Structure 1
């Protein structure tokens, strides 16, 4: 797979910037073709080092001294499985809902948005792992971040797939359930911490 061009990356950044402002025209900035869909998977390559770093810091903060590489590789693999699984569920679901013509548009925007979400999440995760935040502040920041992700997800699925608020909420729950299932499966893997 070839790398996205500078223009494609710039358009993706511009699209995400609009989505962050709850501007649905952000979806118009993305290449919603099959090629654009596959190019959006490069966002995972940007996120994977953040997942590895977070995994390393978390493992060290939990007192792990051995198996750090196994933990990091395992966490990155779990991330990759989740990254692949969501589109495999959403594309047929969009077709079933007669929104298949919008499926690629939604998923391209969703994929690129994940870079922004992970850039915001990483410092929060690092502060939490370091123990430098008081428990109440850490929980409040986590709750605020997760609430924002759910609201952004709700906005993006509504506008990206052109569905109503109730359907959008149900589709956000699909994303949450997929994430929880992947996390639950990861906890069953030997050598990985929850």
Structure 2
């Protein structure tokens, strides 16, 4: 469970990350419990992802009925949320930064909140026909560019690594997301 004080501190930390302020790290609880609580943004965003999955469900494009399809989509969502932190357990060891794992992963997980609010909102607006796929493509590209910049910042300050290594971690995150998505869409 998360207290109101912990939630407020984490959200303020996200605000500081958006301002590229290194003091942001001071507002995140970098403990195993804080790590577990840092998945709250994923839980909060899950209903939006489920609504998106329902809106894009096309029985002619999948072998599954809606119920099993939604189960697969929810499991895919969970896998996408835990795959990168799992991989980072090993990457931080390779970079000799294992003691800073929580210092990076807790802010990273909380930072997913603003990023995915934008992306899932855009998905839903496309799903209901309020914005075109072309406009979504532009917004997605812009959001991805911003994510790369901010993600590099979070990795750099969280792990205390150089900018190239930080960029490599963001690229790894992006590629892992693409691979996970491609594997799930084959079901």
Q: 1:63 to 1:91 in 2, by over 3 A?
A: closer
Confirm or deny: 8 A CA contact 1:52 1:73 kept in the other structure: no
Root-mean-square deviation (Å): 2.0
Large movers: runs of 4+ above 3 Å = none
Structure 1 unmatched ranges of 5 or more: 190-194
1:59-78 correspondence runs (5 A): 59=57, 67-78=65-76
Matched, 1:147 2:145: yes
Q: 2:8 aligns with which of 7, 10, 17?
A: 10
Matched, 1:43 2:41: yes
How far the C-alpha of 1:163 sits from its partner, in A, is 0.8
2:116 maps to what in 1?
A: 118
Q: 2:130 aligns with which of 129, 132, 135?
A: 132
Distance (whole Å) between structure 2 residues aligned to residue 124 and residue 187 of structure 1: 20
How far the C-alpha of 1:14 sits from its partner, in A, is 0.6
How far the C-alpha of 1:59 sits from its partner, in A, is 2.2
How far the C-alpha of 1:155 sits from its partner, in A, is 1.3
Structure 2 unmatched ranges of 5 or more: none
Distance (whole Å) between structure 2 residues aligned to residue 15 and residue 71 of structure 1: 36
2:53 maps to what in 1?
A: 55
Distance (whole Å) between structure 2 residues aligned to residue 48 and residue 170 of structure 1: 28
Confirm or deny: 8 A CA contact 1:50 1:118 kept in the other structure: no
TM-score, L = length of structure 2 = 0.90
The Cα offsets for residues 153-187 of structure 1, whole Å up to 9 and x where unpaired, read as: 11111111111111011111110121111112102
Q: How many residues align?
A: 185
How far the C-alpha of 1:40 sits from its partner, in A, is 1.1
Confirm or deny: 8 A CA contact 1:34 1:104 kept in the other structure: yes
Q: 2:25 aligns with which of 16, 27, 50?
A: 27
Distance (whole Å) between structure 2 residues aligned to residue 72 and residue 149 of structure 1: 27
How far the C-alpha of 1:134 sits from its partner, in A, is 3.7
TM-score, L = length of structure 1 = 0.87
